A and B are shown apart, each in its own frame.
Chain A
Amino acid sequence: MTVRIQTADFDAGAEIAALRAGNPKIGAVASFVGLVRDVNEGERVSQMTLEHYPGMTEKAIEEIVAEARTRWDICDALVVHRVGALKPGDQIVLVAVAGAHRGDAFAACQFVMDYLKTRAPFWKKEHTGEGARWVEARASDEIAAGRWRSKG
């Protein structure tokens, strides 16, 4: 399991190649890449700044991935999350899960992403024509994370 918080961009292809290297038991890799959009709640976003809680953020993501491993049969997982100044089109987050079969890899990847949105300490600040504002937490993200609670 690898969890990295970094300001630098990432190469999803290279990250996935490294994740599965040397393990012929892996038959599936499911991955998700989150990107900065240029519009949020009707306003143009020119830049975004991401803040985190060094130490706790890594720990929180490691716990989420560990929980995914108890729920699904997966071989390995990788989370790379960027912080600092980002522009529309930039990559923010990569979640990649390797497993023997696609079903568990897909489900675990979605679970990690849904929980990351509500449990990992990251905060987004958007810079728009109106100035800078902190993004408020979204109820839809809570609902997305909540769907896993009903499934043992």
Chain B
Amino acid sequence: MVTVLYFARLREALGTGREQIELPPGVRDLDALRALLASRGGAWARELAPASTVRGAVNEAMARGDTRVADGDEVAFFPPVTGG
């Protein structure tokens, strides 16, 4: 299982801030997990499309599409940051 968190506009658009997902065989990196979530359709497809500006983190560190994702990890998806 991985824990997946969503923040800010993404959390509101998807209607959830946190879920747990059983990783299917073959889903081993952030891009694959993102594609799996986008395949749910609707807001998921729109917000997590490859062309969207969504950012990702694995275990509280900024991650790239090829960053490995494994059982027990905490993954987060969010829009570009706007702090300060």
- Write the residues of chain A forming the contact surface with B, with a CB cutoff of 8 angstroms: 34, 50-53, 55-56, 59-60, 81, 92-93, 113, 116-125, 134-138, 141
Contacts and interface: CB of A to CB of B under 8 A. Distances in A.
A60 B80 CA distance: 14
A53 B53 CA distance: 18
Contacts, number: 71
A124 B83 contact: yes
Contact of B81 (A93, A123, A125): A123
B69 to A, nearest CB: 16
Contacts of B84: 34, 81, 92-93, 113, 116-117, 120, 122, 141
A113 B84 CA distance: 7
B46 interface: no
B19 interface: no
Contacts of A123: 7-9, 78-79, 81-83
B9 A134 contact: yes
B82 A136 contact: yes
Contacts of B7: 51, 53, 121, 123
Given A51-B7, A53-B5, A53-B7, A122 B60 contact: no
A118 B83 CA distance: 8
Interface residues of B, number: 17
Q: What does DSSP make chain A's interface, helix, strand, loop or mixed? A: mixed
Interface of B: 5, 7-9, 53, 57, 60-62, 76, 78-84
7 contacts: A56-B61, A59-B61, A122-B81, A122-B83, A123-B9, A134-B8, A136-B80
A59 B60 contact: yes
A116 B84 CA distance: 7
Contacts of A138: 82
Contact of B83 (A55, A56, A81): A81
Contacts of A137: 53, 79-82
Nearest to A118: B81
A140 to B, nearest CB: 12
